[in-house]
Amino acid sequence: MKTEFEAIPLVKNESRKRFEIEIDGHFAFINYGENDDQIALVHTEAEPELAGTGAAAAVVEKTLQFIKESGKKLLPFCPYVFAFIKKHPEWKTIVDEKFGSYNKL
């Protein structure tokens, strides 16, 4: 994660069902669903003003850290999150082994 994003807090916006970070009034976020022991990440997006800044990668990394600390297992349905984990295999440890594409990570 770029250093300029390290101090920006991750917000779990339960009313909008998304994890988000805000940068200069613009958001990068991941839509999610969850149950007692899993969190499914389904869509990552950064507002156009944040394109190319690394904000999407930052919200992914912050969200993965949140999931790790929660003790829940991850279901990475979002292609961006899936690709991020494939590129950073140290995060595979939080992916639920029952996830259909687990062996492709």
pLDDT number for residue 11:
98
Amino acid in position 29: F
Whole-model pTM: value is 0.95
Q: Which amino acid is at 59?
A: V
Give the per-residue pLDDT at 2.
86
The long-range contacts involving 41-47, CB below 8 angstroms and separated by at least 24 positions, are: 41/74, 41/75, 41/76, 41/77, 41/78, 41/81, 42/77, 42/78, 43/78, 44/78, 44/80, 44/81
The domains located in the chain, with CATH, are 3-97 (3.40.630.30)
- 98 near 50, Cβ under 8 Å? no
- pLDDT of amino acid 54: 96
Contact assessment for residue 94 and residue 61, using Cβ atoms and an 8 Å cutoff: no
pLDDT means over runs of 10, the chain (105 residues): 92 98 97 97 97 96 98 98 97 96 94
